Structure 1
Amino acid sequence: MGSEQTEHDHAGHTGTGNFDDKAATWDEDPDKARQSGEVARGIAAAVPLAPRSRVLEYGAGTGLVTIALLDDLVEPTLTLADSSSGMRQVLADKVEAGVLPSPTRVSDLDLETHPVPTDHYDLILSSMVMHHVKSFDVVLGAFFEMLDPGGHLCIADLDAEDGSFHGHDFDGHHGFDRVSLQASVERAGFTDVTVSDCSSITREDATYPVFLAVARKP
């Protein structure tokens, strides 16, 4: 999990090599910090972050969204999952350096291919990850299973676009239609689903809107 050059923290379901190569210099792009901060502010405004919340960021990349959330979290239990070994090494280095609180668990997790873990969470979040996920409903079902009742799911991702964001060799989703996405999340069992504007990514002559979908497990 990782990203194209200006894209946000991402999943590496299309192959992790690209993300492995970019992991060490990932945080040098100031636009990634801006995007991460906007996503984190959207999550903090939409979800009650109770003390000692158990949080999973799926496709965490270098953990920028979770790090931006730390001011709103009190003694959280954090799990940062990414299928890129390069990204996981950066995460482990951040834990060792104290940028991420200890203990923060760094996990190799791909919910399209791995069994659903038995761990449970109060908040699961992903940012610019789900358009890489081919088995979208499978991953949504895993999120539902891993959340405790009353827990929240937050997904930040691209609005539907014409395919120009990734180019011709991309085999994931070209963003999401908000109505269809909400229906998919509701089919997975979630309630109180909202989808709102969150951020944007500018690339050359095009700006791509980013939404934040928030849902609750009843």
Structure 2
Amino acid sequence: MHAEHFDERAATWDDDPDKVRRAHEVAEAVAAAVPLTGAERMLEYGAGTGLVSQALQDRVGPITLADTSAGMRAVMADKVATGALPSDARVVALDVEMQQVPQERFDLVVGSLVLHHVQQLDAALAALADLLTPGGHLAIADLDQEDGSFHQHDFDGHHGFDRAELAADLEAVGLVDVRVEDCTRIEKDGRGYQVFLATARRPLTG
């Protein structure tokens, strides 16, 4: 992932009402797809400015927000300081492709429009699955497969995903109860791009 690209945009990221709306739609889809008790230890991976966590904060327990961009982490830290995010929320630097995953495990791992930036998809999915407690849920919102027109800056990630292939990839890293459903839509430069929500669960045993 190109952290510098997001560093440059972090301070004004939330000025775009479409980004805020989309984060709320992702959060609503997660809450509808995953049984939440209000006590879940949640990790938002590739959290950006923490918009999805903001929308979910009243429905989960302790939140950890991870991003590779120092600019995005600074915005999230400011939100924690000002009360837009919970005072006990933690902001950390984490790149599951480059770092060993931490020892801590989470009941819910959420990622919104981050997976298409990873280089090594299988390794990233395995790392995210490893971060789950037994019985914990992974929820990933991302783009359906597209023709490469979505990204205008220098981009070397994935041009969206085939839903069936991603479901198979999630099962291949040991997750079960895989579902992929419509989530929201992005309108950009006169074109529409469908976003799905993929959810899966780590088995209680095995």
| Residue type of the alignment partner of 1:193 | V
Deviations 1:24-46 (A, max 9, x none): 11100000111001100000001
- TM-score w.r.t. length of structure 1: 0.91
Give the superposition deviation at 1:91.
0.4
- Residue number in structure 2 paired with 1:214: 199
Q: Is the CA contact 2:145–2:162 (under 8 Å) kept in the aligned structure 1?
A: yes
Q: Name segments (4+ residues, structure 1) moved above 3 Å.
A: none
- 1:52 partner SS: coil
- Residue number in structure 2 paired with 1:10: none
Deviations 1:22-79 (A, max 9, x none): 1111100000111001100000001111232100000000000110112323xx1110
| Residue type of the alignment partner of 1:46 | A
CA distance in 1, matches of 2:152, 2:93: 27
- Asked if residue 187 in structure 1 is aligned to residue 193 in structure 2, the reply is no
| Residue type of the alignment partner of 1:19 | F
CA distance in 2, matches of 1:181, 1:138: 13
- 2:48 partner SS: coil
CA distance in 2, matches of 1:17, 1:139: 20
- Asked if residue 162 in structure 1 is aligned to residue 147 in structure 2, the reply is yes
1:44 equivalent among 22, 27, 31? 31
- Residue number in structure 2 paired with 1:101: 86
Structure 1 unmatched runs, 5+: 1-12
Deviations 1:128-182 (A, max 9, x none): 0000001111111111111011000000000000001114832110000000000
| Residue type of the alignment partner of 2:140 | I
CA distance in 1, matches of 2:14, 2:193: 21
Aligned residues: 203
- 1:160 partner SS: coil
- Residue number in structure 2 paired with 1:22: 9
- Residue number in structure 1 paired with 2:42: 55
1:35 equivalent among 18, 22, 43? 22
Identity, in percent, stands at 57
- TM-score w.r.t. length of structure 2: 0.96
Q: Which deviates more from structure 2 when the two are superposed, residues 95-104 or residues 168-177?
A: 168-177
Structure 2 unmatched runs, 5+: none
CA distance in 2, matches of 1:168, 1:28: 20
- Residue number in structure 2 paired with 1:197: 182
- Asked if residue 150 in structure 1 is aligned to residue 129 in structure 2, the reply is no
